[in-house]
Amino acid sequence: MMSGKAESEWLNVRGIEVETLRRGAGRKILVLHGFQTIDREARFLDLLARHGEVIAPSNPGFGSSPRPKDFDTVYDLVHLHLDLIDALPADKVTLIGFSFGGWIAAEVAAACSHRLDKLVLVSPLGIKISDRETPDILDVFNRSPEEVRRRSWHDPDRFAPDFDAMADEALVVYARNREALCLYAWHPYMYNPQLSRWLPRINVPVLLLWGEGDGIVTPDYGRAYSGLIPGSRFELIERAGHYPEIEQPEAFVERVYRFLEE
């Protein structure tokens, strides 16, 4: 059902059209994007596709995926992906979630570990760790663009998006992704107060990867996250911020590959 060089195609999940990048062949690796949809030119995609078939959907409202009427909560996203997993022709799926998508992946895994073989969470959001007056996650809407840029990347000058150089079409996707993220995650900001309670339900091997210079959400948050998932492993990736898959694609895929081969 897919070619080795597949580009974006459309999945129909219970009547919802989902733009999806597909690449590679073999074990099914479902990848859930973070604040922004995954760039089809991203190096890590090709590297990851050497180890399986990467399936990377754009959540409704993100990328080119339309958002159905009244589809506007994380609850909807979680159930969409539960449905999508059910529709994949494989007993088990490997799930990788980045940032906001890590939150969704954790929710999905807590709900249906039995359909997963492994779970990789990359700087996932979704839970509340610190006290009520200490936000865990940088407010990417309320804080200045300069601060968000600086705290997102180990090397912002090299990796942060250059809006002046972006094509109009890419810029619209960027703005669309921001809008969808705002809809789903404005309040409570980027977490589900109930999720921590249910994380122990995840009973597949879990790897948490964190950029050591992540200023959106710190490695300490990741360690606490890991502590809530029995048997999970926490690893840092050097010279990376909130997007280790972009700043260190080789190191990132190497860690993932090693974990998948265990």
Partner 1 sequence: MQAWYHCENVYPFVPQEVLDRAESVRASLPNKYCDPKISADLFEECLDEHLLCDGLGVNVVSIEHHSGINSLYGASPMILGILARQTKKVRILSLGTLITVRPDPVRVAEEYATADVISRGRLEIGFVKSGDSEMVSGNANPIGYVDRFWEAIDLIQKTLTSHDGPFSWEGKHYTHRHVNIWPPVYQRPHPPMWAATGDPETSAELGRRGMINALVLRGPEASKRAFDAYRDARREAGLPAPGTDRFAYAALAYVGDTDEEGVRVGSKLLWFLNTSLKQSPQMSKLLPGRSPPEVTAQNYRSQPKPGAARRPADSLIGITAEQAIARGILCAGNPDTVYKQIMDIYDKVGGFAHFIFIGRSGFLDHQEAEKGIRLMAKEVLPRLPAAMQTPAAQPARAAE
Which residues are near partner 1 by CB under 8 A?
A: 70, 72, 141-145, 148, 163-164, 166, 168, 171-176, 178-179, 181-183, 186-187
Return the number of the residue (75 or 186) whose C-beta is nearest partner 1.
186
**Greatest distance between any 2 Cα atoms in the chain:** 50
Please enumerate in sequence order all residues whose Cβ is within 8 A of that of 123, keeping only pairs 6 or more positions apart, or say none: 34, 98, 99, 102, 209, 210, 211, 214, 216, 217, 222, 242, 243, 244
Return the number of the residue (159 or 257) whose C-beta is nearest partner 1.
159
Please say whether the beta carbons of 221 and 232 come within 8 A. no
Return the number of the residue (22 or 33) whose C-beta is nearest partner 1.
33
Closest distance of CB 70 from partner 1, Å:
7
The HSE-up count of residue 187 (CA atoms within 13 Å, CB side) is 0
Q: What is the CA radius of gyration of the chain?
A: 17
Residue 252 — φ and ψ, nearest 5°? -60, -50
Closest distance of CB 82 from partner 1, Å:
24
- Tokens 């990736």, located at residue: 237
**How is residue 196 written in tokens?**
């921590």
Instruction: Give which of 127, 99, 131, 141 is closest to 246, Cα–Cα.
Output: 99
Return the number of the residue (35 or 210) whose C-beta is nearest partner 1.
35
Return the number of the residue (87 or 182) whose C-beta is nearest partner 1.
182
Q: How far apart are CA 213 and CA 132, in angstroms?
A: 24
The dihedral of CA 154, 169, 2, 72: what is its sign? positive
**How is residue 150 written in tokens?**
């600086």
Please say whether the beta carbons of 150 and 156 come within 8 A. yes
Backbone angle region of 155, left / alpha / beta, with phi > 0 → left and psi within -120 to 50 → alpha: beta
Closest distance of CB 145 from partner 1, Å:
6
Closest distance of CB 105 from partner 1, Å:
23
Return the number of the residue (12 or 142) whose C-beta is nearest partner 1.
142
Closest distance of CB 38 from partner 1, Å:
18
Closest distance of CB 87 from partner 1, Å:
28
**How is residue 156 written in tokens?**
């912002």
Return the number of the residue (180 or 209) whose C-beta is nearest partner 1.
180
Closest distance of CB 153 from partner 1, Å:
16
